Amino acid sequence: MARKKHQQLDTQIHRQKPNSQSSTAYVQILGTGMDTHDTLPSILLFFDNFRIIFNAGEGLQRFCAEHKIKLSKIDYICLSRVCSETVGGLPGLLLTLAGLGEGHSVELRGPSDLSSLVYALKSFIPHAAICAESFGSSLSSNVEAPTVPSLSEGPFFVCKSAVVSISAVLLQPSILADSYVKPSDVSVVYICELSEIKGKFHKEKAEALGLDVGPKRRELQNGKSVKSDRLDIMIQPSDVIDPSVRGPVVLIVDCPTESHAEKLSTTQSLGKYYAKLSGEAPETVNSIVHLTPASVVNTRNYQNWMKKFGSVQHIMAGYSMKNVGIPILESSARITNQLGYLCPQFFPAPALHSREHHFDAAVGMDSLTKEPTEGTCDSILAENLLKFTLLPHSQSGLDKANVPGLIAPSQVISNLLLEIPEVVEAAQQISQFWSEPEHSSKDSEGLIGGLLLDQNPIPSCLENIRRDDGEIVLLGTGSSHPSKYRNVSSIFVNLFSKGNLLLDCGEGTLAQLKRRYGMDGAANAVRNLRCIWISHIHADHHAGLVRILALRRDLLKGTPHEKLHVIGPKYLESFLNKYKDLEDLDMQFLDCRSTTAASWDTFEHGFVSTKYPTCSSDCMIDEHVNNENKDDTCFLRCSKRQKLSSNVDTCVDTRFLMSLSEVLKEAGLERLTSFPVIHCPESFGVILKARERVNNSGVLIPGWKVIYSGDTRPCTEVIQASKGATLLIHEETQMLQATFEDSLAEEAIARNHSTIKEAMEVGTSAGAYRIILTHFSQRYPKIPSFDEINLEKACIAFDLMSVNLADLHLLPQILPYLKLLFRDDVTEQLEDD
């Protein structure tokens, strides 16, 4: 059935463009992961009316938004492997295309175990949004065979249009007889054969043979003979048309290990493309794009295989340290540099893009950066947006016109100071908050206007707190899908020597960790994860999870360790269990319902305390909360009875909770408690409560308390959880202002989100000491307008913002300076609204 559907689709393509011949064709490097090495780059094969992307790793949507590449124009996505490196961007991409309505679908192609991936993705993606077909024989990762299973190498048909035909050769690694091949071990060499290039039609020859302008010329171009209009002769196509020439050929090669390289060197399916000394001329390959890592490229087997092709342009697109110093997301990098200049305490310089790291590390593929000498392959290191032009034939070759250069942070700051000279004084004033604490309560009237500062005393839990006690890093602060300026939800809780946690793990989380901490720092962060907590099943909160788990598995391979605790909604467990058929994730899952306060009581005391709501409780705002102002607040909209997203589960998995308790203890935490909220089914917020500690006077003081709301409408559960919170991190997707308050409030209610005003009222009602607002609608790509709202104890989050618990008292004082930095953007938003 799938094959029939696929053939119908290809026939439809031919009907749409029966005689079309693309005037433009090129292969282009889409540098997702080139600066972070978190995922393989994607490759775009472009024609005027037909486009294919090879691999869809994390960050593909964000990259295309940055560089104005329309993903809605993509016809096929072909995977070179089915693993976290190549598919991390698929969930978000499929959901985005599905949201565009009918006519915006994309076909997936990949080796046989693509079907296992699709089965897993259907746990949270509508079935109609996925149209996929695999090729090759299926392998199971759950059956250990005493001998190596046989796998046909192909070539296999992948797809075809009027301009190109794609086929695939499978590479099965050479392994020991007592091992078995995992599905993700199988990689692909894609063969892209462009249609033949028709010869030039010579009008002067047609006229000399008495052929007038008209339909007969079209018949000649279609290969038919015609009779001359003015002479008594038959005209053959060869009389007026040059011979057609074979179309260009491009190979996309993913050879991840030396074992794969051994298989590649002996494959017979590519023989007709090898250069020969005598006999029939081979089918010439114009370019080969290598997704192969440098460690494999530099082996003798691989080098000898490359030489078989003769004069071919090799583009080395595997991981190269050369590209680490060049951000692929220029817009985001520019804002990060500006924020770092203004307040380096909350916005430290990204460790990844320092020039020192860039040059010291650029050694892995050094041999490939040199000019080719006689007897070596013509190789070039891929760069972001590098093109190899295929058509028109006269322009065939490399094109670096769109390759971005390295933008020095100093240049970004120079441009900023020309636009907003006041930023110099602002940065000086902010630095005084740390060097001269007495200045922190003074008002800089002339620069940023009057400040309404929070006068509440510092809570006892922050007395004498050390800088290595805890830090909150906002890795992603946008909602729905990644954008130029904000990645999707992820919060890194850095507990330093005690380990760390992730709260939500949207697509691109690993890349953000690398931008914040550098390659080695991010590896240590992943290696030292104590647990990952996921709020709900929406893809913008968990699509980066598999990549993090796969990296941790690889980092700890051969080292004694415990499986990582992943806490999330039951729907997430369904996805992870299905995905494990593709690759082991080295984790143990615990349902959020098993970490509610009631579940912890059951685990510790064997009964459920009556102070917790029963599983049938409705969401009602406490009548004593802000009762005197109820008519003027968001709580009026919340007072309607709304069912919570989840019921309390007191069926506790004792073994897992005992293990989690030990993990939390090692991390210096007393408890991690999930609580149900109002969003989609099985949605939760979380409480992190630190253990008690002794201050400098020897007095026992309570530990800090951090709340993350997840996505939610304002509700009693968030308020109760946030009582006495040291920090409340609250989602906000809609901003209320002026005459648009009612319409945006209704939108927030319809989508079960909160407005910024509602989030502030929740935090104020609960008595939270500090509030960070995050998860912003893409309506506000940089900063929302908030003139009408009291944010005296709050701050707006930005990607890579790092808030040390020792600096919480200063957090609200930064907000007016952020408004200064983005004043032009706020003005533009008001005008647009």
Return the SS3 of 12.
helix
Helices assigned H by DSSP within 148-257: 203-208, 215-221, 237-240
- Cβ neighbour number for residue 750 with a 10 Å cutoff: 8
How far is residue 521 CA from its own chain's centroid? 19
| Residue 199, Cβ density class (10 Å: 0-12 exposed, 13-18 middle, ≥19 buried) | middle
Q: What is the pLDDT of residues 638-665, one digit of tens each?
A: 433 345 555 555 556 788 899 999 999 9
Q: Which residues, at least 6 apart from 337, have a Cβ–Cβ distance to it below 8 Å?
A: 349, 409, 412, 413
Distances in Å between the Cα of 337 and the Cα atoms of 408, 524, 760 are: 10, 24, 29
Output the six-digit token pair for 715. 């509700």
According to the model, what pLDDT value does residue 415 have? 95
Tell me the sheet residues that pair with 634.
none
Q: Is 126 exposed, middle or buried (0-12, 13-18, 19+ CB in 10 A)?
A: exposed
User: Residue 180, Cα to own-chain centre: how many angstroms?
Assistant: 31
User: Rounded distance, CA 400 to CA 402, Å?
Assistant: 6
Contacts of 444 (CB under 8 A, 6+ apart): 429, 451
Asked whether the beta carbons of 57 and 83 are under 8 A apart, the reply is: no
Under a CB-based contact definition with an 8 Å cutoff, are residues 113 and 82 in contact?
yes
pLDDT at 2: 42
* Residues 445, 668: Cα–Cα separation, whole Å: 42
pLDDT for 647: 55
Contact 317, 385 (CB under 8 A): no
Work out the burial of residue 94: count CB atoms within 10 Å of its CB; fewer than 13 is exposed, 13-18 middle, 19 or more buried.
Answer: buried
Reading across the β-sheet that carries 313-316, which strands appear in turn?
156-160, 164-171, 187-194, 249-253, 287-290, 313-316, 378-381
Residues in the chain: 833
Cα–Cα distance between 192 and 393 in angstroms, integer? 16
Burial class of 531 by CB neighbour count within 10 A (0 to 12, 13 to 18, 19+): buried
Residues of the chain with pLDDT under 70: 1-22, 102-103, 137-151, 175-181, 183, 277-282, 353-376, 437-455, 607-652, 733-750, 779-781, 784-789, 826-833
In the prediction, which pLDDT does 829 show? Answer: 47
CB 787 within 8 A of CB 737: yes
- List b or e across 330-350, with b for residues whose CB sees 16 or more CB atoms inside 10 angstroms: bbbbbbbbbbbbbbebbbbbb
Distance CA 730, CA 355 (A): 36
Nearby residues of 415 by Cβ (< 8 Å), 6 or more positions away: none
Beta carbons within 10 angstroms of residue 269's beta carbon: 17
- Measure the N-to-C terminal CA separation of the chain; round to a whole number of Å: 49
pLDDT number for residue 181: 65
Contacts of 327 (CB under 8 A, 6+ apart): 35, 333, 353, 407, 515
Q: Starting from the edge strand earliest in sequence, which strands make up the sheet with 801-804, in order?
A: 587-591, 564-568, 529-533, 500-505, 490-494, 471-476, 801-804
In the prediction, which pLDDT does 223 show?
A: 87
Residue 101 corresponds to which tokens in the numbers above?
A: 């309505």
Pairwise CA distance, residues 145 & 182, whole Å: 11
Residue 737 and residue 757: Cα distance in Å, rounded?
Answer: 10
The model's pLDDT over 86-116, given as tens digits with 9 standing for 90+, comes to 999 999 999 988 887 766 779 999 998 899 9
